Amino acid sequence: MPKPIIRFPSSKIGRFILGWSLIAGGIFGFLPILGFWMIPLGMLVLSADYPVMRRWRRRTQVWFGRRKRIKAKKQNNIS
């Protein structure tokens, strides 16, 4: 697995606070600056410590990988 580009806080409590703050800010996504993009980012931060979030992240990662593979396969068949 590649090295992460963004470093998360090293303490578990720091990741907990950051993750839940992002999710809470994402709930107010209709306001300026805050956005709905914060919800999946908060879940990504929480996936470092919580198995439920880790499973969600892994399922999403597999889904995107399959989708990308199917698109590439269709493009190769068209050409």
pLDDT for the residue numbered 17: 92
pLDDT for the residue numbered 29: 83
DSSP structure string for the chain: -PPPSSPPPSSHHHHHHHHHHHHHHHHTTTSSS--TTHHHHHHHHHTTT-HHHHHHHHHHHHHHHHHHHHHHHHHHHH-
Dihedral angle of Cα 51, 17, 15, 33, to the nearest 10 degrees? 110
Statement: residue 1 has pLDDT above 60:
no
Per residue in 31-76, pLDDT tens? 877 888 888 889 888 988 888 888 988 998 999 999 999 888 888 8
The CA-atom distances, in angstroms, between 52 and each of 47, 48, 55, 59, 71 are 7, 10, 5, 11, 29
